[in-house]
A and B are shown apart, each in its own frame.
Chain A
Amino acid sequence: AQSVAQPEDQVNVAEGNPLTVKCTYSVSGNPYLFWYVQYPNRGLQFLLKYITGDNLVKGSYGFEAEFNKSQTSFHLKKPSALVSDSALYFCAVRDIDPNFNKFYFGSGTKLNVKP
């Protein structure tokens, strides 16, 4: 079965510092991995995805993610954090069955960026 895990409930960083939000995955077959961000009382916004190819994926708002097959990880990164990046971040993996666009989400990581 497909699953993702986000080991940190919360990550605190200072504005201007690099940030990393961790995600590990467990999949059967090819991993289709996604990152979403959720602001308070809002739905989820797509940030980036890994399909195949380059292990470093570029996404929206300056975010990127590093896919590591040997460590089964897909960590979200940003070189320089902004206060406006403070939000809830979710890692997700797609269902193995190509006929069903079902996602499995992690429990989320709250990112706090302090001025």
Chain B
Amino acid sequence: DAGVTQSPTHLIKTRGQQVTLRCSPKSGHDTVSWYQQALGQGPQFIFQYYEEEERQRGNFPDRFSGHQFPNYSSELNVNALLLGDSALYLCASSLLAGGPWTEQFFGPGTRLTVL
């Protein structure tokens, strides 16, 4: 079992550009959540996808969007990049039917640097 995988590992972009990050969940998981972890801070929830729909969203602008595919993999898109978008972006997967006590499994993250 490969666990949660994310690509790419690192990205460097300039202000105003757009970026797409990718995530493959742990085998058997159907829910993907995205988190933003700024330097020195805890992860902040961006949104969650289940059954190819955005189910819940954190306090992030519409520049942040996503998608979930039939195989449960997911993409995070960020448009009009700002310097403040520089962070580690973490993908987490889980099985919704596992109940509220189910832990999330995290990928290694994508380090995005905006210049």
State the A residues within 8 Å of B (CB).
30, 32, 34, 36, 41-46, 49, 51, 90, 94-95, 97-108
Contact = CB atoms under 8 A, between A and B. Distances in A.
B81 interface: no
Contacts of A106: 42
> Size class of B's contact patch?
20 to 34
Residue among A45, A94, A101, A108 having the largest count of chain B Cβ atoms under 10 Å: A101
B22 interface: no
B48 A102 contact: yes
A98 B106 contact: no
Contacts, number: 69
B76 to A, nearest CB: 15
A101 B42 contact: no
Contacts of A101: 31, 33, 48, 94, 96, 100, 102, 104
A111 B6 CA distance: 27
A36 B107 CA distance: 13
A72 to B, nearest CB: 18
Contacts of A46: 103-105
A44 B90 contact: yes
A65 to B, nearest CB: 13
Q: State the majority secondary structure of interface residues on A.
A: loop
A71 B40 CA distance: 27
Contacts of A34: 103
Contact of B106 (A45, A99, A100): A45
A101 B55 CA distance: 10
B109 interface: yes
Contact of B101 (A49, A95, A100): A49
A30 B101 CA distance: 10
A105 B90 contact: no
A94 B100 contact: yes
Contact of A98 (B4, B31, B42, B100): B100
